[in-house]
Chains A and B, each alone.
Chain A
Amino acid sequence: MTAQALHQHQPHRPEDGHKLHGYPPGDLAIWVFILAELGAFFVLFTVYAFTRLKHLQLFAEMQRTLDSDAGMINTLLLITGSWCVARAVAAIKRNHCRASAHWLLAAIGSGVGFLIVKYFEYGAKFAAGINLDTNLFYTFYIALTAFHAMHVVLGMAILLLVWKKAMAGGYSAQDHHGMETGASYWHMVDLVWIILFPLVYVMR
C-alpha cells in the first residue's frame, strides 16, 4: 500500500447514512499501528494467563492484595474518556467545533484522572515494598499496567494535539480525518483495558 493510498480515503460523514465504508475512520496508518498494538497486548495477556496456570496459588493470593476499587474507577474513567471522544467526533460531524473541542478536553481530563488513580495505586504498592522483583505476579502486574499506562499517556498527547487544532477551528464536518485518527487510537487504549481489568483485578 502506498503512502498516498494511506491518506486517500474520505472521513466518515453523517450523510453517508447506512452505507458500508471501505476503511475504518481515521488514517489507515494509525490502524496498522493499532493492530500491531493489539497484537502486542494479545501476547502479553496470553503469557499472563498461561503463566498463572503454573502458579495458581501465588496469583490468587497476590490478586487479593490488589485494589480492585482503583481498577474499577479507572475502567469507568477510560470508558468515559472514550465516550467523550465519540461525542467530540459526533459534534464535529455536525460542525459544532467548540463543543467538539470541549468533549476532547473532557476526554483528556479522564486520562489525567486515570493517571492520578494509577499514581496512588502504584504509590501504595511501592510504599509496601512491592516492586518488579517481588514475585512473578507483581512482575506481570507492574509490566502490564505500566505498559498500558504508557499508551494512555501517548493517547493523551495525541488528543492534546487534536484539541489544539480543534480550538483553532482546524476541523469541520467535511474535514475531520485527523480527529478520527486520534479518536481511533484512544478507543484502542480503552478496549485493551476492558480485558486487562477483569484479567488482572477480577478473575482469580
Chain B
Amino acid sequence: MGVHFLNVIWVALMVATVLTWLIGKTGELSTAMVVAVLVISAVKGWLIIYDFMALRRVRLLWRGLVLGWLLLTLSIILLAYWLGIK
C-alpha cells in the first residue's frame, strides 16, 4: 500500500468524521439524515477494513467476515431507527 494512498484515506476519513459531526449539530435527525450518517459510517468502515486493516487483497472469506460485521451492524441500527420513526 503506497503511503500517499494511505494519506488520502486518512484525510477522507477525517473529512467524513467532521461531516458526521456537523450533521449531528443540526439537532433531531430526519430519516434522510440518519441514512446519510449510516452510509458515511459504512464508507468509513469500508476504508478502514480495506486499506488500514489491509484486507483488500485477502481471501474473500476474511474480508467478508469483517465487512459482513460492518454491514450487518449498520443494517440492524437502521432497522431499529426505522421502527422508531414508524
Whether the pair A49, B80 counts as a contact (CB closer than 8 A) is: yes
Complex interface: chain A residues within 8 A of B59 (CB): 20-23
Whether the pair B54, A89 counts as a contact (CB closer than 8 A) is: yes
**Pick the contact of A23 from B2, B38, B58, B80 — CB < 8 Å?**
B58
Q: What's the dominant secondary structure at chain B's contact region?
A: helix
Q: Is A195 an interface residue (CB 8 A)?
A: yes
Complex Cα gap A31–B7 (Å): 25
B residues touching A (Cβ–Cβ < 8 Å)?
Answer: 1-3, 6-7, 9-10, 13-14, 17-18, 20-21, 23-25, 28-29, 34, 37-38, 40-41, 44-45, 48-49, 51-55, 57-59, 62, 65-66, 69-70, 72-74, 76-77, 80-81, 83-84
Whether the pair B73, A202 counts as a contact (CB closer than 8 A) is: no
Complex Cα gap A53–B49 (Å): 30
Digitize A165-204: 1 where CB-to-B-CB distance is under 8 Å, 0 elsewhere. Answer: 0000000000000001000100110110011011101111
Which residues in chain A, 80-113, are within 8 Å of chain B measured between CB atoms? 80, 82-83, 85-87, 89-90
Query: Which 7 pairs across A and B sit closest by C-beta, in order of nearness?
Result: A202-B24, A49-B80, A83-B10, A72-B21, A187-B53, A79-B13, A86-B52
A31-B62, A68-B24, A87-B6 are contacts. A203–B1 as well, Cβ < 8 Å? no
Tell me the nearest residue of chain A to B22, going by C-beta: A72
Complex Cα gap A196–B9 (Å): 20
Q: Is A38 an interface residue (CB 8 A)?
A: yes
Whether the pair A49, B77 counts as a contact (CB closer than 8 A) is: yes
Complex Cα gap A19–B62 (Å): 15
Tell me the nearest residue of chain B to A49, going by C-beta: B80
Interface range on chain A: under 10, 10 to 19, 20 to 34, or 35 or more? 35 or more
**Pick the contact of B48 from A18, A45, A50, A191 — CB < 8 Å?**
A191
Whether the pair B73, A184 counts as a contact (CB closer than 8 A) is: no
Complex interface: chain B residues within 8 A of A76 (CB): 14, 17-18
Whether the pair B24, A201 counts as a contact (CB closer than 8 A) is: yes
Whether the pair B24, A79 counts as a contact (CB closer than 8 A) is: no
Q: A75-B20, A75-B21, A83-B13 are in contact. List 14 more A-B contacts (CB 8 A).
A: A23-B62, A25-B58, A46-B77, A53-B80, A60-B28, A69-B21, A76-B14, A76-B17, A79-B17, A80-B10, A187-B52, A194-B45, A202-B23, A202-B24
**Pick the contact of A38 from B2, B41, B69 — CB < 8 Å?**
B69
**Closest Cβ–Cβ distance, residue A67 to chain B (whole Å):** 11
User: What are 7 inter-chain pairs, A to B, with CB distance below 8 A?
Assistant: A20-B57, A20-B58, A45-B76, A83-B52, A90-B2, A184-B53, A203-B77
**Closest Cβ–Cβ distance, residue A149 to chain B (whole Å):** 18
Complex interface: chain B residues within 8 A of A87 (CB): 3, 6
Whether the pair B52, A90 counts as a contact (CB closer than 8 A) is: no
